[in-house]
Amino acid sequence: MTVHLHQEDITADALAPGTMLAIDTETMGLSTFRDRLCVVQIADGRGDEHLVRFGPGSDYAAPNLKAVLADPNRLKLYHFGRFDIAAIRHYLGIVAAPVYCTKTASRLVRTYTDRHGLKELVRELLGQDISKQQQTSDWGAHELSDAQKDYAASDVRYLHQLKEKLDERLARENRTQLAQACFDFLPWRAELDLAGWPEIDIFAHV
């Protein structure tokens, strides 16, 4: 496998046509409006990962990246898609859907644990160990270190395999339809975040 670093946009021929895409983002922090989008990671499941880096002052034009993210015929795989969808919507101006979220699926079928992070999910379902050491590093740096690039790539490297395992469990527990309804709502949950309801459950009684 190879990690490819792109500046400001992905190349037009980087991804296989019509395939599911694993997507993740790296930002300067957890506030979408304050903390700019620095990197979008993308993988088509063939073994390579692509990192698209956006510099300070970027106009986020990225026509090739936007085309594949907005393609309604490509399923987008995320882990905690709510955050990534909101960041992409805010900075790139597109809704990167349709959606499958491995964290949402995990919460629906791994009810025996409260550990739904990517590291724990990859370890249990795939028997692989990934490092989260670079999670809080400076993604706005002028140059990304090899450790940062490998970390960013690992966030999309296993999502296709995780989907297969989680789909089996969703079917086994008769929760596939419920999961799909959650996935379909995720872009709207992200839209609520951007519109000013990030911590409020509008369905709550009080």
Q: Pick the closest to residue 11 from 47, 48, 63, 46 (CA basis).
A: 63
- Strand-pair partners of 21: 76
Residue 14 lies in a domain: yes
Token pair 């002052």 is found at 57
Residue 203 lies in a domain: no
- Please write the tens of the pLDDT for every residue from 11-69: 999 999 988 999 999 999 999 999 999 999 999 999 999 999 999 999 999 999 999 99
Residue 202 lies in a domain: no
Average pLDDT over residues 125-136: 83
Residue 200 lies in a domain: no
Instruction: Answer whether residue 79 shows pLDDT above 70.
Output: yes
DSSP letters for 33-99: TTS-EEEEEEE-SSS-EEEEE--TT-----HHHHHHHS-TTS-EEESSHHHHHHHHHHHH-S---SE
Residue 97 lies in a domain: yes
Query: What pLDDT is stored for residue 92 in this prediction?
Result: 98
Structure tokens of 129?
């160990």
Who's near 11: CB < 8 A, 6+ residues apart?
64
Domain carrying residue 31:
3-195
Its pTM stands at 0.95
Backbone angles phi, psi at 42, to 5 degrees: -150, 140
Query: What pLDDT is stored for residue 206 in this prediction?
Result: 83
Average pLDDT over residues 83-93: 98
Residue 204 lies in a domain: no
Instruction: Answer whether residue 136 shows pLDDT above 80.
Output: no
Q: List the CATH number of the domain containing 54.
A: 3.30.420.10
Query: What pLDDT is stored for residue 90 in this prediction?
Result: 98
- Please write the tens of the pLDDT for every residue from 101-125: 999 999 999 999 999 999 999 999 9
Could you give the number of structural domains in the chain? Answer: 1
Instruction: Answer whether residue 133 shows pLDDT above 80.
Output: no
Spell out a b/e string for 21-51, using b for 16 or more CB atoms within 10 Å of the CB, else e: bbbbbbbeeeebeeebbbbbbbbbbeebbbb
- Please write the tens of the pLDDT for every residue from 142-172: 899 999 999 999 999 999 999 999 999 999 9
Structure tokens of 168?
């089996």
